[in-house]
Amino acid sequence: MEKRKIVIVGGVAGGASAAARARRTDEQAEIIMFEKGPYISFANCGLPYYVGNEIGDRSALLLQTPDSFKARFNVDVRVHHEVIAIDRAAKQVKVRNVQTGSEFTESYTALVLAPGATPIKPPLPGIDLPNIYTVRSVPDSDAIRAFIAKEGAGRAVVIGAGYIGLEMVENLHRLGMQVTLVEKADQVLMPLDPEMAAFVTLTLQNMGVEVVLGDGIAGFAEGAGRATAVRLESGRELEADIFILGIGVRPDTRLAKAAGLEIGPSGGIVINERTQTSDPAIYAAGDAVESVNLVTGTKGLMPLAGPANKQGRVAGANAAGDSLTYPGAIGTAIVRVGDTVAAGTGLNERTARKLGMNIRTTYSMSGDHADYYPNAQQMVIKLVWEAETGRLLGAQAVGGNGVDKRADVFATAILARMTVEDLTNLDLAYAPPFGSAKDPAIVAGMVAQNDRRGLAAMVAPGELAARLEAGEDLQLLDVRESYEFFVGAIPGAVNLPLDEVRGRLAELDPARPVVVYDQNGQKAYWASRVLKQNGFASVSVLTGGFVVWSASQAARTFAPVF
């Protein structure tokens, strides 16, 4: 049998995974990996934490070197080498040594493309000034650290409130800088719905970070050969010593396009379940490819480390003669901002409604472990589920400790096509330091189950706000203690503490619709059961309680209208 020759373009997550799996699949194959940068297999997700000195050892970011990769996997790794063209008919790639400029060709039996994505840098005035940085590679983070060390930067503007942007805000703040965050959308962290993202915005503000929403950038002012301020579309100028672009990334498909490979509507390389492109001899993996969304069945970009590594593993195995498949992903992600952790998986409400799905949303609030055990931290959970079947479509969680665990539980449930009723029967580990007998994931399922079974009709904060603004004749019943009501309540609400409801039913009109709420939803559910079984015709529970209502109202005020 002819000896295989596998050429891999790109040496970070997808490429390195492909090379390692290809070697484990075929010990005799010749494997060559080309990487145009100076490093392979580096932890680019750790770059913000290296900038902020939370990761102090630079070498910890370099998971493999060309020499270590050669020693362990017998892969010929050539850094500073850029593949500039593909001759599909001849099964050859044209390669340029970026240090010397020399060019040569290399043949292949199978080719794996893992070029990744490039940071978005809009063509704006001053965008290329030297103190404006992106965070995509080790040299990027080296440059930021060097600039801060040399200049003693005290003020920073981070542009873009996605995962990288938020991580950079946290780490620049950690270094003692005065940080301003600018985001063109009307919320931070677009994978979350606005009321859930509002908790992150409030955390940023409590940290002393200025958050500017609903305002894009128009360019940069220059002075002494560097950027001195960013100009916003509103006309406002924000002065700073250093500027970080976290606007997003776009798939690097230049090589694939030039070779005539199929590109999908989202701009990524089209692959099948075996990660083959439209040319069966060419595989692709990572941020440059389209992935199938396993909730909707549609294809789109999903530039996350988990999918990239799994795609690379499949591509490497199949390039070496195996037959693995990669079905797709659901887009699970998490971020820490100060003492707040936010995670999302599957569909958010905004996307589901845009797709025309008939959905319900419910909220719950629970401690990460038993309340009687010290230092329990509350988390808010939002579930998005299919109204007809109860199938879980998406989940979001914001809190502190334990958010990651619940996000992973929900991600597994979505992948398994479980319903919200299935969540109520999960058998999860419990001891007081780790969880509760009714885990937050189980409680979230119970709240949704109550809604599905008609035990408690849930009304979402946005729906209640719309009904109030429309002048609907509602009785708003706040069943918290009087001191909680005094601190803050929904306008127009009356306060009947839960333990007094049975004895004061005469103060309410059973013929008028009642919406019951408390701090987080639990007491309101109990009160609603009392009302429904005492002749009240229309009783609803504000899902998420006053906590989520307040976040929802805050989300409506964050972004100014110019």
Measured distance between the N- and C-terminal CA atoms of the chain, rounded to whole angstroms: 69
Written as one letter, the residue type at 307 is P
476 within domain boundaries: yes
Angstrom distance (rounded) from CA 371 to CA 497:
22
Residue at a domain's end among 229, 247, 265: 247
Based on the domain organization, do 209 and 146 belong to the same domain? yes
Q: What is the DSSP string of 442-454?
A: HHHHHHHHHHHTT
Residue 295, domain CATH: 3.50.50.60
Based on the domain organization, do 144 and 190 belong to the same domain? yes
Q: Any idea of the CA torsion for 481, 486, 491, 497, to the nearest 10 degrees?
A: 10
Angstrom distance (rounded) from CA 308 to CA 286:
4
- For 394, the token pair is 């998406």
Neighbouring C-beta atoms of residue 434, cutoff 10 Å: 16
- For 457, the token pair is 């009709």
pLDDT value for 557:
81
pLDDT value for 562:
38
Reply yes or no on whether 45 is catalytic: yes
pLDDT in tens, 130-187: 999 999 999 999 999 999 999 888 999 999 999 999 999 999 999 999 999 999 999 9
Catalytic residue among 45, 294, 324, 465: 45
172 within domain boundaries: yes
Based on the domain organization, do 373 and 425 belong to the same domain? yes
Count of domains for the chain: 4
Whether 169 and 337 have beta carbons less than 8 Å apart is answered as: yes
pLDDT value for 152:
82
Based on the domain organization, do 154 and 105 belong to the same domain? no
Domain that residue 296 falls in: 5-116+250-319
Based on the domain organization, do 69 and 212 belong to the same domain? no
Residue 530, domain CATH: 3.40.250.10
391 within domain boundaries: yes
413 within domain boundaries: yes
121 within domain boundaries: no
Residue 340's alpha-carbon distances to 139, 164, 374, in angstroms, are 29, 15, 18
557 within domain boundaries: no
Based on the domain organization, do 305 and 279 belong to the same domain? yes
Based on the domain organization, do 144 and 243 belong to the same domain? yes
Angstrom distance (rounded) from CA 551 to CA 447:
19
Based on the domain organization, do 236 and 257 belong to the same domain? no
Residue at a domain's end among 247, 271, 301: 247
pLDDT value for 561:
43
Q: Work out the angle at residue 397's Cα, subtended by the Cα atoms of residues 394 and 403, and round it to the nearest 5 degrees.
A: 120
pTM (predicted TM-score): 0.95
Whether 440 and 379 have beta carbons less than 8 Å apart is answered as: yes
In Å, how far from its chain's centre is CA 197? 11
Based on the domain organization, do 220 and 136 belong to the same domain? yes
Residue at a domain's end among 408, 431, 452: 452
Angstrom distance (rounded) from CA 178 to CA 22:
47
330 within domain boundaries: no
Based on the domain organization, do 422 and 474 belong to the same domain? no
Residues in the chain predicted with pLDDT less than 50, given as ranges, are 561-562
Based on the domain organization, do 416 and 439 belong to the same domain? yes
52 within domain boundaries: yes
Based on the domain organization, do 303 and 345 belong to the same domain? no
Signed CA dihedral, 137, 139, 141, 143: sign only = negative
- The radius of gyration computed from the CA coordinates of the chain, to the nearest angstrom, equals 27
